[in-house]
C-alpha cells in the first residue's frame, strides 16, 4: 500500500460539497469512484476540509492509500483522466501511512469574494457574492481586524453544531479591494486560522457586509463575539463566494501568499 497526499482545485457550483452524501455528486465521491476504477477496489479518501455545497477550492488537500504501484505524476494523470474538468488534481506526493489530511493540518486559508457594483460580470457570477450599493471598505477592514487572535466564535457558527469547543485562533483577518471598472470593485476577505467552525467564514463575511453598509459600526463585531449568540451576527453569505485557498502542515502560516483565482 502506498499513501498519497494530493492537492486539488474545483469549481464547487454543481456539487453537494466535499463529503460523499446519499444524494448528489460530491468531490470525495468523484475521487473515490476514480480510485475504484484505478485500483480495482474501494478506496477511502480523506480531505482536509469539508467544503459545503457550492464552495470552491484552490488548494484542497486529501489523502488515500492504493495497492497499485504508481508514481506520483502517474496518479495525477490517472485521476484527472477520470474526473470532470471542474475538478483537477494539481499535484501528488507520497506521504507516511500515518498522514491525516484533516487532523495534521496546522492552518487553513479561506478567501471570500464580493462583487460590489450594480451589475456583476457574467464571468464572475459563479464565484462572487453580488452586493450592489456603496460599501465602507475601511470600516470593514477595521471590523475584520477585531477577529484576529484567539476567541470564542460561537456567534459565527451554524446553529446545532456539536463541536467540543467553539474557541478558534485566527492568525490573520483582512480585506483587500480591487477596482474592476469605473462602477465595480472586487472585495476579497482573506482569513487564516488554525481551525474553523461550520459556516464560520460565511457568517463573518455576512457580518462584515453589514458593517460596510453602515448598518453596524466596526466595534459591533467585538460585541457579537462576546455574545456567543448566532442571532446577534449578520446573515450567512452565499456559498459561491467562498474558496478554500490552502492548507498548511508543519509550520503555521502567518501571512497570505495565494494569488487571485
Q: State the residue for C-alpha cell 460596510.
A: 212
Calpha distance 104→203 (Å, rounded): 25
Burial of 124 (0-12, 13-18, 19+ CB in 10 A): middle
- Concerning whether 52 is annotated as a catalytic residue, the answer is yes
Give how far Cα 119 sits from Cα of 10, 132, 177, 236, Å. Answer: 25, 8, 17, 22
Backbone φ and ψ for 77, nearest 5 degrees, come out as -65, -45
22: which residues sit within 8 A by CB, 6+ positions away? none
Options 52, 73, 136, 181, the catalytic residue? 52
Calpha distance 196→205 (Å, rounded): 14
The cell numbers describing 22, all together, are 446519499
Exposure pattern of 55-89 as b/e (b: 16+ CB <10 Å)? bbbbbbbbbbbbeeebeeeebbebbbebbeeebeb
Calpha distance 9→56 (Å, rounded): 8
DSSP-derived letter for residue 14 is: G
CB atoms near residue 38 (< 10 Å): 18
Give how far Cα 43 sits from Cα of 60, 199, 216, 250, Å. Answer: 18, 28, 49, 26
Catalytic residues: 52
Amino acid at each position: 500500500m502506498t499513501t498519497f497526499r494530493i492537492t486539488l482545485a474545483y469549481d464547487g457550483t454543481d456539487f453537494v460539497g466535499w463529503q460523499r452524501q446519499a444524494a448528489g455528486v460530491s468531490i470525495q465521491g468523484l475521487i473515490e469512484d476514480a480510485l475504484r476504477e484505478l485500483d480495482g477496489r474501494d478506496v477511502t479518501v480523506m480531505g482536509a476540509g469539508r467544503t459545503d455545497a457550492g464552495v470552491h477550492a484552490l488548494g484542497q488537500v486529501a489523502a488515500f492509500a492504493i495497492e497499485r504501484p504508481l508514481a506520483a505524476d502517474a496518479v495525477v494523470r490517472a485521476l484527472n483522466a477520470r474526473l470532470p474538468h471542474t475538478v483537477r488534481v494539481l499535484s501528488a506526493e507520497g506521504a507516511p501511512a500515518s498522514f491525516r489530511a484533516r487532523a495534521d493540518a496546522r492552518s487553513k486559508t479561506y478567501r471570500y469574494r464580493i462583487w460590489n457594483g450594480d451589475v456583476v460580470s457574467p464571468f464572475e457570477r459563479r464565484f462572487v457574492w453580488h452586493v450592489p450599493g456603496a460599501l465602507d471598505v475601511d470600516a470593514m477592514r477595521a471590523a475584520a481586524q477585531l477577529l484576529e487572535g484567539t476567541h470564542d466564535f460561537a456567534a459565527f457558527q451554524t446553529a446545532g453544531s456539536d463541536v467540543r469547543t467553539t474557541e478558534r485562533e485566527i492568525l490573520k483577518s483582512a480585506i483587500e479591494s480591487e477596482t474592476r471598472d469605473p462602477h465595480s470593485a472586487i472585495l476579497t476577505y482573506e482569513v487564516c486560522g488554525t481551525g474553523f467552525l461550520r459556516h464560520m467564514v460565511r457568517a463573518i463575511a455576512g457580518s462584515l457586509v453589514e458593517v460596510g453598509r453602515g448598518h453596524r459600526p466596526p466595534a459591533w463585531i467585538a460585541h457579537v463575539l462576546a455574545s456567543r449568540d448566532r442571532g446577534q451576527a449578520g446573515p450567512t453569505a452565499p456559498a459561491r463566494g467562498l474558496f478554500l485557498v490552502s492548507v498548511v502542515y508543519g509550520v503555521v502560516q502567518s501571512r497570505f501568499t495565494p494569488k487571485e483565482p
